[in-house]
Amino acid sequence: MATHCEDMGIVFQNDAEAVSFVAGLFDISEFRLFEIAYVNWFGSEPTKKAMDGFFGSYLKTGLVPFWLRAVVRRIICKHRKGNLTPSEFGIDQPCVSRFERKLGWILVALFSFLVFAIVWFSAKYQPAW
């Protein structure tokens, strides 16, 4: 069954694809998304045994539990409407896009190169006063 957001026309081929999208959106593992969805749906922390069972079944069959499907659909709709806040789902980390992460690493590399160049030139070229 396709996962969709009625008013936004967003369609995924299957629920597992939607789960993957949301996990990537929050930059968390699918297992962590299972935990978050469980707490969001049932209002309590899952036991390790229960969560291993749910996730193991998902990995073997690709079938998504009803409570995960409902939470994933709600997250996708909120994301597409532009009013998604990760803290609403118990995620404290900021959502950083892959572009922003790459840009950050590029800036760190450029800054490191600049520092290296300054140190190298200052050591190589001593003023002749």
Cα separation, 107 vs 18, in Å, equals 32
For residue 114, what are its two tokens? 């600049």
Name the burial class of residue 72, with classes exposed (0-12), middle (13-18) and buried (19+) by CB atoms within 10 angstroms of its CB: buried
The pLDDT, as a whole number, for residue 71 is: 93
Q: What are the residue boundaries of the structural domains of the chain, listed by start?
A: 3-94, 96-129
Residues of the chain with pLDDT under 70: 1-10, 93-96, 127-129
For residue 42, what are its two tokens? 């049932």
For residue 105, what are its two tokens? 């690493």
Diameter over CA atoms, the chain? 79
CA angle centred on 103, ends 98 and 106, rounded to 5°:
130
